Amino acid sequence: HSFSALIARHETLRTTFRQQGEQALQIIHPPRALTLSVESLPSGQSLEACVQQEMQRPFDLEQGPLLRVRLLNLNTDEHVLVLTQHHIVSDGWSMPIMVDELVRLYEGYSQGREVSLTALDLQYADYALWQRTWMEAGEQARQLDYWKQQLGDQQPILELPADRPRPVVQSHAGARLAVELEPALIDGLKRVARQQGVTLFMLLLASFQSLLHRHSGQSDIRVGVPIANRNRAETEGLIGFFVNTQVLRAEFDVHTTFNELLQQVKHTALQAQAHQELPFEQLVEALQPQRSLSHSPLFQVMFNHQSQASAEVRALPGLQVEALLPDSYPAQFDLTLNTAEHEGGLSAGLTYATALFDPRTIERMAGHWLALLQAICANAAQRIAEVPMLDRAERQQILHGWN
């Protein structure tokens, strides 16, 4: 019942796509009831394997549905709800909306109450039409000019010292390392951000770009940053694909201090925000970087920051619900730093391509990042090139190795 109400509420969840000549058409279907049956885990198959298999099952864009729902029975009082969506109708911002609304609908219906959710002023198709009209009226040209000027003619590839040569065709096999930040360090970072008039996002991005600069020896560092791209209040409650990717560039020389870098990153981030609607695909098309199957175009490393992470656990009438974290982490890029602000502070993790890096290399890199953050808190006016990043064990190894 809850799912049927959700599908009736959001047109994206009942949309399919058809190719007509050069164009793809959205077809919005009338609301329909969703039949949800309880399934047992296939014998001999682990939950993780079953979920992985479900994730890899292709979608049919023409036939739909683009949201698949399965309820797996583990034992009498434990079930796993698996929601699989095609990215064309959803994004990271949409998932908490979906979970929140499902929770509220379930809460009401399970107690025999009618549930009224805030009415949606817009649907995704309205937004798509508005965006296309606005972009075609000159906005696309304005934003493209900005990005061409910002990124220039050369599109360097970030080559971090890897344990193995880059495969000819990029592998998406990945792993994740959780990075722990002490409460005192988090407080220090927030203090520096306040003093410098920047957001925590800007400070963390600058620290990550500094780390990449120090590890690669390259002075032109470009990082991909996903951006929610929901600038109109009416889009905030919609399930749909709004997210865009921006390329944020930082330039270093031997004299750059962290303070100076922060102001550069602040300026770049604010400018990027004012030019955030140009779809990344159009930017790639316009800049025409040398295409290769071995790496992603325009940037090879991503920074993803959430300023408010959603709750992992919910209590419902007769039901305890919590998010299941995956055991496997595909790597879309060479390296991704994920950070999330929540009530308990700040969490961080590095997702990396296992075709390129060994766990030990990433652990060392995480140690260097933490050392860099400590140094920033101690003195943000020092030159980035002079910040000591080795931990005690590495220093000992070098000293004894040399002696």
Q: Where residue 390 falls among pLDDT bands split at 50, 70, 90? A: confident
Res 400: pLDDT: 65
Domain co-membership, 285 together with 356:
yes
Domain co-membership, 268 together with 387:
yes
Q: Say which CATH number the domain at 288 has.
A: 3.30.559.30
Q: For residues 237 and 87, what is the distance between their CA atoms, to the nearest angstrom? A: 17
331 contacts 173 by C-beta, under 8 angstroms: yes
Residue 134 lies in a domain: no
Domain co-membership, 111 together with 180:
no
Preceding amide of 65 cis, omega within 30:
yes
Q: Give yes or no for residue 219 having a pLDDT over 60.
A: yes
pLDDT for 284-326, tens place per residue? Answer: 999 988 888 999 999 999 999 998 777 677 888 888 888 887 7
- Which stretches of 316-387 are DSSP H helices? 359-378
Domain of 101? Answer: 1-119
Residue 125 lies in a domain: no
Residue with the larger pLDDT of the pair 359 and 392:
359
Domain co-membership, 65 together with 187:
no
Residue 333 Rama label (left phi>0; alpha psi -120 to 50; beta): beta
304 contacts 226 by C-beta, under 8 angstroms: yes
Q: For residues 371 and 366, what is the distance between their CA atoms, to the nearest angstrom? A: 9
Domain co-membership, 281 together with 342:
yes
Residue 138 lies in a domain: no
Could you say which of 91, 119, 147 is where a domain stops? 119
Q: Where residue 395 falls among pLDDT bands split at 50, 70, 90? A: low
Indicate the angle between helix axes 94-110 and 2-9, nearest 10 degrees: 130
Q: For residues 349 and 204, what is the distance between their CA atoms, to the nearest angstrom? A: 13
For the beta carbon of residue 15, count every other beta carbon within 10 angstroms.
23
Q: Number of folded domains in the chain?
A: 2
Residue 141 lies in a domain: no
Q: For residues 150 and 102, what is the distance between their CA atoms, to the nearest angstrom? A: 42
Q: Say which CATH number the domain at 80 has.
A: 3.30.559.10
Residue 348 lies in a domain: yes
pLDDT for 87-120, tens place per residue? Answer: 999 999 999 999 999 999 999 999 999 999 999 9
Residue 145 lies in a domain: no
Q: Which of 355, 351, 387 is nearest to 366 (CA)?
A: 351
For the beta carbon of residue 341, count every other beta carbon within 10 angstroms.
18
Residue 234 lies in a domain: yes
Q: Which tokens hold the place of 332?
A: 């879309």
Q: Which tokens hold the place of 211?
A: 């780390």
Q: Give yes or no for residue 18 having a pLDDT over 90.
A: yes
Domain co-membership, 110 together with 189:
no
Residue 284 lies in a domain: yes
Domain co-membership, 175 together with 288:
yes
